[in-house]
Amino acid sequence: MKLNTNSNAYTITYAAVVVVIVAFLLAFAYAGLKERSDSNERIDKKQQILAALNIRNVDKVQTEDKYKEVVMTDAIVNAKGDILKQGAQKDQDGFKVDRKSMSSECLPLYVCKVGNETKYVIPMVGKGLWGSIWGFVALNADGQTIYGAYFSHESETAGLGSLIKDEPFQKEFQGKKAYLNGTPALKVVKSGTVKDANTECDGITGATLTSNGVNDMIHEYLKNYQAYLASLNK
Amino acid sequence: MSFLSEKNKQAFVTPLNLNNPILVQVLGICSALAVTTQLEPAIVMGLSVTIITAFSNFIISLIRKTIPTRIRIIIQLVVVAALVTIVSMILKAFAYDVSVQLSVYVGLIITNCILMGRLEAFAMTNGPIASFLDGIGSGLGYAWILVVVGGVRELFGNGSLMGFQIIPQSFYDAGYVNNGMMTMPAMAMILLGCVIWVHRSIVKDVDNN
C-alpha cells in the first residue's frame, strides 16, 4: 500500500511528528550543552571586566585566576549610594546580576586592585541601532576619571557600529573626566567634532546611531552610580 | 550512483559559476549587502551558509519523498531553523569566540533565500549526495562573491584587509583619503551590479542556462 502523502490526516500527523522531534532535539542539545556554554559565558564576562581594566587578551585558562587576583569584591549598590551586598566572594553577588536585571535598585560594582591602585568597574547596558549594547567602564580611585572601558554589542552593523567592540574606540575613553560640577560629563560626539578633549570622545563615522546609543548608555549609568562614586571622596 | 558521477560533479560545479546563486539566480542579496563591509565577516558568513546549506539540503533530500506537498515550505523552514539553532548551541559550548562572532549572522542564515531556493529547486527532486554537493557548491558560489565585494569594500573604505592596514601611511600623507561611500550598503549594491556585469560579459550563455 502506498501512503497518500497529500491526505489531511497524513499532513497533520507529519507536521506534529516533525515538530515533536525537533523540539526534543533542541531540548536535548540545550540541556546537554548548558553547563559548557554557561562556563564559557562566565569566562567571557570576566574577560570583559578585565578588558575594562586594560588587561586584554587574557588566555581562557588563566582568566579565572587573573580575575581572582584583580577583583576584590563584586558589591551591589543602589542609585542612592547605599551598599546592598558586599560581594566578598568576588563572583557570587554583583557578578551574578545579568544585564537585563540591572536597575537603579540593583547596580553591580566591582572593586579592583591593579598594581596598588584601587579601581572601580561599573557595568552598563543600553540600546544600539539594532539590538542591545553593553559595556564595563573602569574609574580611578577618585571615582571621577576613566581608567579604561570595554564595550560590546549584540547585533550592530559589521564594520560600522560593531567597531565599538574594538580597542581603538575603547582607548579613546582613557583619562577622560566622567563627571564635571557634579553631573555626568562624558560624551560621545559625532566623529571629528571633539571640542573639549577632557570629556568628549570621537564617535564612529557612519555609525551615528550606535555612537549615540553608547553616549546615552554612559550618561544613564554614570547618573546611576553618581551617588556612590561621589561618596568615595568624602 | 558513485560519489563522483558526472551528475554530482555538475551539482557541485555549476553553482560556482554558470548557475551562481548571487550572479545568476540573484538570491541572498540582502545578506550580501549587510555583511560585506569587511572581509572577515564576509568569509565567516560565506562558510556558515555553505555548511548550513549543505546539511539542510542533505536532510531535506533524505526525507523528500515523505514531505506532504502542502506544508513542504514549513517543513523546510523548521529543518533549517533547527539546524542553525543546534549548530549555534554547539559552537557556544565548544567554540565560544566563533559563536560570538556569528551571533549577528545566525538570524541572517535562517532567512537566507539561497537556503530555501536550493531546498525547493534541488533537494526536493534529487538524491542526498547530489543535494549535499549542490549545497556546498551554492554556499561557495555565494561565499566567493561575498569575499570579492567585501575585499573591495574594506580595501577602499578602510584601507585594510582582514583588519591589517594595506594602504601605506605615505599614501594618506600624500592626500589619499578612504572612500566613505564604500562602507555604505548602497555601494555594495553598485559593486554587486559591476560583478554581475563583468560575469555576464565573460559568460555569454547565462540567459540560456
Q: Which domain holds residue B175?
A: 8-203
**B208 is a domain residue:** no
The pLDDT, as a whole number, for residue A28 is 93
Q: Any idea which of A163-167, B58-62, B175-179 has the lowest mean pLDDT?
A: B175-179
* Overall average pLDDT of the B169-185 stretch: 81
Split at pLDDT 50, 70, 90, the class of B4 is low
Compute the distance between CA of residue A211 and CA of residue A222 in angstroms, rounded to an integer.
Answer: 16
Question: What is the reported pLDDT for B208?
Answer: 52
Chain A partners within 8 Å of B92 (Cβ): 33, 37, 40
pLDDT of residue B180: 75
CA of B38 to nearest chain A CA: how many angstroms apart? 6
Nearest residue in chain A measured CA to CA from B64: A5
Considering chain A, what is the average pLDDT of its residues? Answer: 90
Among chain B residues, the shortest Cα distance to A15 is held by B75
Helix (H) or strand (E) holding A150: strand A146-153
Higher-pLDDT residue of B158 and A43 is A43
Summarised one tens digit per residue, pLDDT across range A76-106 is 999 988 889 888 888 888 898 888 889 888 9
Q: How confident is the model at residue B3 (pLDDT cuts 50, 70, 90)?
A: low
The alpha carbon of residue B125 is apart from the nearest alpha carbon of chain A, in Å, by 16
Beta bridge partner(s), residue A40? none
User: Helix axis angle, B6-13 relative to B128-158, nearest 10°?
Assistant: 20
What digits encode the pLDDT tens for the residues A62-79? 898 999 999 999 999 999
CA-nearest residue of chain A to B87?
Answer: A29
- Average pLDDT of span A97-126: 91
Q: Is residue B61 part of a domain?
A: yes
HSE at residue A176, side-chain half, CA atoms within 13 A, is 24
What is the pLDDT averaged over residues B19-32? Answer: 80
Size of interface A-B (CB pairs under 8 A): 83
Instruction: With a cut of 80, say whether residue B105 has pLDDT above it.
Output: no
Instruction: Average the pLDDT over B78-107 and give the result.
Output: 82
DSSP state of A178: S
Given a contact cutoff of 8 angstroms between Cβ atoms, the answer to whether B47 and B23 are in contact is no
Give me the residue label for grid cell 547596558.
A125
ipTM above 0.85, yes or no: no
Task: Please tell me the distance in Å from A11's CA to the nearest CA on chain B.
Answer: 6
B interface test, pick of A12, A59, A160, A208 with most B CB neighbours within 10 Å: A160
CB contact under 8 A, B68 and A33: no
Percentage above 70 pLDDT, chain B: 95
Mean pLDDT of the region A214-234: 90
Strand partners of residue A118? A113
- Residue A139: in which H helix or E strand, if any? strand A132-139
Task: Identify from B39, B48, B96 which residue to disrupt to test chain A contact, counting A C-beta atoms within 10 A and taking the largest count.
Answer: B96
d(CA B59, nearest CA chain A) in Å: 13
Q: Does B93 touch chain A (CB under 8 A)?
A: yes
Quote the Cα angle for B65-B88-B132, to 5°.
35
Number of folded domains in chain B? 1
Mean pLDDT of chain B: 84
- Work out the average pLDDT over B13-27: 80
For A24, what's the count of Cα atoms within 13 Å in the CB-facing half-sphere?
5
B41 to A158: CB separation less than 8 angstroms, yes or no: yes
Among A37, A45, A48, A167, the strongest candidate for a mutation testing the B interface, having the largest count of B CBs within 10 A, is A37
> Given this model, what pLDDT does residue B2 score?
57
pLDDT confidence band for A132 (50 / 70 / 90): very high
Instruction: Choose from A14, A129, A154 for mutation: most chain B CBs within 10 A.
Output: A14
Any idea which of A161-175, B14-28, B81-95, B110-124 has the lowest mean pLDDT? B14-28
Lowest-confidence pick of A4-13, B132-141, B159-168 = B159-168
- Distance between B102 CA and the closest CA of chain A, angstroms: 10
Q: Do A44 and B68 touch (CB under 8 A)?
A: no
**Residue B110, pLDDT score:** 83
pLDDT at position A200: 92
Q: According to the model, what pLDDT value does residue B162 have? A: 78
- Measured in Å, how far apart are chain A's first and last C-alpha atoms? 88
**Which residues in B lie closer than 8 A to residue A24 (C-beta atoms)?**
none
Q: Residue B41 pLDDT > 90, yes or no?
A: no
Contact A129, A157 (CB under 8 A): yes
Q: Does residue B184 belong to the interface with chain A, where contact is any CB pair within 8 Å?
A: yes
The answer to whether residue B173 sits within a structural domain is yes
* Structure confidence at residue B209 (pLDDT): 46
Q: What is the pLDDT of residues B43-79, one digit of tens each?
A: 888 888 899 999 999 999 999 988 888 888 899 999 9
**Within-domain flag for B157:** yes
Phi-psi domain of A159 (left: phi exceeds 0; alpha: psi -120 through 50; beta: other): left
Model confidence, pTM: 0.72
Residue B49 resides in a domain: yes
Average of per-residue pLDDT across A140-146: 91
Q: Nearest residue of B to residue A47 by CA position?
A: B97
Residues of chain A with C-beta less than 8 angstroms from the C-beta of B66: 5, 14
Residue closest to B69 by CA, chosen among B120, B140, B145: B120
The alpha carbon of residue A197 is apart from the nearest alpha carbon of chain B, in Å, by 24
Identify the weakest region by mean pLDDT among A9-23, A110-124, B176-190. B176-190
